[in-house]
């Protein structure tokens, strides 16, 4: 790194980094990734911040061990005090799950009771999660603005990222927040494995919203290898042996099915390679048929990733030996790469969420889209996509309207707008389904959602 490199924050490092949602199952993996890249992203201090100190205290010793295996000098702080967490911080990685896994379980199980897709970020489950997360995300931004370095960046993984991004755009348009998702990089990992090349050798073009988009090209040495990918997908979906081997979570039955489902999606629309999450919108009936209403992905995660990590933490406490309890993978690597590019103006090309501003010519200027962008010290510079075909434009516009209505419902406390959002979602067949699911969700989310008021009761304006 040379002296002329522009830094986004007030220092070129070592940085103070806070992780909001410190008790997350992903924290040890992200910190491991930070340690591996310490020479490129120097750190003075790592702070874990969580509103659930009990949960965070279980994870913290594992995180401390990961740090100490690599560095004696990095200060490590664990706190539930915003002032302690954010004072002078240069970067904040956000990964909050508002309502934790017990509410994820509700998000997935309530729609399934009504015969509708039950998923963490897609369909009614994602909308419910959005209603829980927008305001806590804004609160986090305000805390960071109050205490942190004035040029601090928040790099946000907290889901549902598309809705969070739109909420932040509406409520805190000037905040230095970059919303990211690891699904495209996970798909790129599989694409590279299929093509037999290194992940860094693949450059993709992509357009859409978060968890709602398509890869249009996959270039290797300037040659578009999409034709080869189509042939592989026609037989196997986007599944590779490598994915399961290098990412244990992706050996879980639900992920294997998800990668396989790229095959029917591309059989019908072979032009572009869909984000795996398109399965929920384009083949919801098959998804519901194969979902167990009593045992959803939340249960799989609690019985898998969470249990394994908590057991390893308990064993470490007892024996001082830390087993192989967590996974680094693309998730940890991606957020660190993005932060490095922000910190040192590296202008690396990554798929991130940005305000459209004409990048996709025939979508609204202010839509929060997911496209390739150069990550500079001043934030993302979106790469022009141009016009997209009518079919994709139509699908995206419907989803965008759904997500924007959900944000408006949250801000205005509007029952009608929430019902409109639920009705507009492609996974929801009728307005009656939308209402029944919404009403059940209002009850289940009474500790989390803003109060939704009806503008009309029995036909009378309130």
Ligand X SMILES: O=P(O)(O)OC[C@H]1O[C@H](O[C@H]2[C@H](O)[C@@H](O)[C@@H](O)O[C@@H]2CO)[C@H](O)[C@@H](O)[C@@H]1O
How far is Cα 290 from Cα 113, in angstroms, rounded to an integer? 14
Query: Out of 17, 20, 188, 367, which residue is the one contacting ligand NAD (CB under 6 A)?
Result: 20
Q: How many residues bind to ligand NAD according to rule CB under 6 A?
A: 25
- Partner residues linked to 374 by β-bridges: 349, 381
Alpha helices in 114-225 (DSSP H): 123-147, 161-171, 183-195
Residue 89 Cα distances to 151, 326, 332, 373, angstroms: 9, 26, 20, 25
Ordered DSSP codes for 368-392: EEEEEEEEETTEEEEPP-B---HHH
98 touching ligand NAD, by CB under 6 A: yes
**Among 52, 142, 145, 412, which residue interacts with ligand NAD (rule: CB under 6 A)?**
52
Q: Work out what residue 249 binds among ligand X, ligand NAD, Mn ion, none; the CB cut-off runs from 5 to 8 Å by kind.
A: ligand X
* Max CA separation in the chain (angstroms): 69
Which among 83, 97, 191, 69 is positioned nearest to 146, based on CA atoms? 83
Q: Which does 50 bind (CB under 5 to 8 A by kind): Mn ion, ligand NAD, ligand X, none?
A: ligand NAD
- Residue 182 a catalytic site member: yes
Residue 100 contact among ligand X, ligand NAD, Mn ion, none, beta carbon within 5 to 8 Å by kind: ligand NAD
Q: Give the end-to-end CA distance of the chain in Å, rounded to a whole number.
A: 62
Q: Which is nearer to ligand NAD, 180 or 402 (CB)?
A: 180
181 binds Mn ion (CB under 5 A): yes
Among 23, 123, 276, 372, binds ligand NAD (CB under 6 A): 23
**Binding site, residues?**
104, 159, 181, 211, 297
User: Residues within the annotated binding site for substrate?
Assistant: 104, 159, 297
Residue of minimal CB distance from ligand X? 186
Count the neighbouring beta carbons within 10 Å of the beta carbon of residue 378: 12
Instruction: Report in angstroms how near the CB of residue 67 gets to ligand X at its nearest.
Output: 21
Question: Could you give the string, one character per residue 127-146, with x where binding to ligand NAD holds by CB under 6 A and - elsewhere?
Answer: ---------x----------
Identified catalytic residue from 157, 277, 280, 392: 277
In eight-state DSSP terms, residue 315 is H
174: closest CA among 148, 154, 147, 149? Answer: 154
Could you list the beta-strand ranges (E) of 403-452: none
449 scored as a contact of ligand NAD (CB under 6 A): no
Shortest spacing between CB 234 and ligand NAD, in angstroms: 27
**Under a CB-based contact definition with an 8 Å cutoff, are residues 329 and 247 in contact?**
yes
- Which stretches of the chain bind ligand X, using CB under 6 A? 120-121, 159, 181-183, 186, 247, 249, 297, 301, 329-331
Say how far apart CA 399 and CA 211 lie, in whole Å: 10
Backbone angles phi, psi at 212, to 5 degrees: -160, 70
277 is catalytic: yes
Which of ligand NAD, Mn ion, ligand X, none has residue 329 at its interface (CB below 5 to 8 Å by kind)? Answer: ligand X
Which 8-state DSSP code applies to residue 453?
A: B
Of residues 390 through 429, those in contact with ligand NAD by CB under 6 A are none
Asked if 287 interacts with ligand NAD (CB under 6 A), we say no
The residues near 324 (Cβ < 8 Å, ≥ 6 apart) are none
Residue 136 interaction partner, one of Mn ion, ligand NAD, ligand X, none, beta carbon < 5-8 Å per kind: ligand NAD
- Phi and psi angles of residue 100, each rounded to the nearest 5 degrees, phi first: 55, -170
Binder of ligand NAD out of 13, 18, 21, 346 (CB under 6 A): 21
Q: How far apart are CA 107 and CA 31, in angstroms?
A: 29
301 and 272 Cβ atoms separated by less than 8 Å: no
List, in sequence order, every residue forming a beta bridge with 97; answer none if it has no partner: none
**Between 37 and 393, whose beta carbon lies closer to ligand X?**
37
Q: Which residue among 182, 247, 337, 440 is the active-site one? A: 182
As measured in angstroms, the least distance from the Cβ of 304 to ligand NAD is 11
Q: Which residues are near Mn ion by CB under 5 A?
A: 181, 183
Which of the residues are catalytic? 182, 277
Instruction: Enumerate binding residues for ligand NAD (CB under 6 A).
Output: 20-21, 23-26, 50-52, 55, 95-98, 100-101, 136, 157-159, 161, 181-183, 331
């Amino acid at each position: 790194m040379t002296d002329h490199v522009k830094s986004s924050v007030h220092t070129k490092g070592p940085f103070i980094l806070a992780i909001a949602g410190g008790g997350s199952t992903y924290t040890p993996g992200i910190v491991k990734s930070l340690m591996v890249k310490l020479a490129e992203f120097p750190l003075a201090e790592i702070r874990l911040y969580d509103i659930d100190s009990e949960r965070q205290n279980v994870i913290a010793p594992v995180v401390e061990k990961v740090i100490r295996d690599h560095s004696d000098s990095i200060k490590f702080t664990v706190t539930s005090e915003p002032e302690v967490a954010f004072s002078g911080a240069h970067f904040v990685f956000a990964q909050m799950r508002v309502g934790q896994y017990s509410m994820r379980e509700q998000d997935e199980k309530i729609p399934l009771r009504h015969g509708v897709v039950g998923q963490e970020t897609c369909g009614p489950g994602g909308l419910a999660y959005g209603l829980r997360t927008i305001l806590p995300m804004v609160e986090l931004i305000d805390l960071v603005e109050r205490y942190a370095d004035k040029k601090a960046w928040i790099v946000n993984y907290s889901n549902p990222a598309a809705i969070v991004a739109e909420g932040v755009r509406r409520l805190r348009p000037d905040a230095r927040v970059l919303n990211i998702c690891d699904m495209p990089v996970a798909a790129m990992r599989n694409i590279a494995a299929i093509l037999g090349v290194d992940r860094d050798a693949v450059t993709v073009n992509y357009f859409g919203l978060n968890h709602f988009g398509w890869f249009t090209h996959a270039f290797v040495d300037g040659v578009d290898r999409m034709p080869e990918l189509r042939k592989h997908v026609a037989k196997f979906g986007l599944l590779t042996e490598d994915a399961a081997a290098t990412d244990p979570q992706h050996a879980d039955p639900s992920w294997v099915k998800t990668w396989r489902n790229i095959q029917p999606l591309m059989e019908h629309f072979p032009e572009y390679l869909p984000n795996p999450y398109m399965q929920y919108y384009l083949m919801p009936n098959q998804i519901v048929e194969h979902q167990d209403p009593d045992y959803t992905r939340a249960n799989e995660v609690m019985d898998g990733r969470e249990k394994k990590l908590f057991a390893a933490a308990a064993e470490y406490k007892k024996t001082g030996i830390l087993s192989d309890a967590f996974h680094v993978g693309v998730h940890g690597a991606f957020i660190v790469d993005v932060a490095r590019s922000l910190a040192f103006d590296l202008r690396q090309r990554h798929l991130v969420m940005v305000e459209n501003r004409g990048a996709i010519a025939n979508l609204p200027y202010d839509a929060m889209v997911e496209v390739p962008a150069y990550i500079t010290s001043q934030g993302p510079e979106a790469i022009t996509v141009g016009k997209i075909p009518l079919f994709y434009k139509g699908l995206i516009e419907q989803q965008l309207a759904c997500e924007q209505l959900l944000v408006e419902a949250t801000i205005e406390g509007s029952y009608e707008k929430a019902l409109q959002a639920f009705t507009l979602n492609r996974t929801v067949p009728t307005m009656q389904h939308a209402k029944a699911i919404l009403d059940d969700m209002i009850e289940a989310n009474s500790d989390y959602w803003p109060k939704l008021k009806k503008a009309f009761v029995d036909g009378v304006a309130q």
